[in-house]
Amino acid sequence: MIKFKKESVENCPCCQNSTRSRKIRDWNNLIYYFCSQCGSAFQDPRINYEYEENYWGQTTDPDGNNRDLSKERDFKVKNWYGESVQFVNEVIPGRILDVGAGLGFFLSAVNDGWDKYATEVSEYAVKQIKERFVNITVFNGSLDEAQFENEFLML
């Protein structure tokens, strides 16, 4: 089960600038703003999701199919992240940060030339990342709590 709450965002989460250059609304009716200083896109209001720890393991779809989400890496890389992974892999490697990394499947598909970092609020998911993908530095908590230094590729 997933719970969520909405929180207002006053400043850009990346550079703390308060000026926004433009706004878009996605297919799910969520609103994103672009920072006029650094160009980052961010949600406002921010939707904070709270996942129950069993969300990442065994689950039953609405149609009754039982699945183990922790074993669906190849499917997700191919069907969810494919174009994004291809784009990143065509860029000169540097540092990359996946905020809300889940089980780390996206970063696991990115070329090893990258310095890979992740934030994830689920303790279960962080444990899975650490056990499966030793080349990903993961922080258990929100981006606001993480203390990463330097710049990252922004998608």
Tell me, yes or no, whether 38 and 112 share the same domain: no
Q: Mind listing the pLDDT tens digit for each residue in 99-135?
A: 989 999 999 999 999 999 999 988 889 999 999 999 9
Indicate whether 92 and 45 sit together in one domain.
no
For 21, the 3-state DSSP assignment is: strand
Rounded distance between C-alpha atoms, residue 44 and residue 20, angstroms: 11
The pTM for the full model equals: 0.65
- And the tokens for 14? 């990346």
One domain for residues 80 and 132: yes
Contacts of 149 (CB under 8 A, 6+ apart): none
- pLDDT score at 51: 59
b/e burial code for range 23-41 (CB count within 10 A of at least 16 → b): eeeeeeeeeebbbeeeeee
Q: Is the pLDDT score of 1 beyond 60?
A: no
Could you tell me what percent of the chain has a pLDDT over 90?
Answer: 39
Residues 80-101: tens digit of each pLDDT: 888 889 999 999 999 999 998 9
Q: In angstroms, rounded to a whole number, what is the distance separating the alpha carbons of residues 65 and 59? A: 8
9 occurs within a structural domain: yes
Asked if residue 92 and residue 22 are part of one domain, the reply reads no
The answer to whether residues 105 and 124 touch, using CB atoms and an 8 Å cutoff, is no
Work out how many domains the chain is built from and give that number: 2
46 vs 8, 27, 49, 64, 100, CA distance in Å?
A: 6, 16, 10, 32, 13
Answer whether residue 147 is part of any domain.
yes
Question: Residue 48: which pLDDT band, with cuts at 50, 70 and 90?
Answer: confident
pLDDT band at 149 (very low <50, low <70, confident <90, very high): confident
Q: What is the pLDDT of residue 107?
A: 96
Note whether residue 56 is domain-resident. Answer: no
Domain containing 14 equals: 1-51
In a domain, 59, yes or no: no
User: Which CATH number covers residue 73?
Assistant: 3.40.50.150
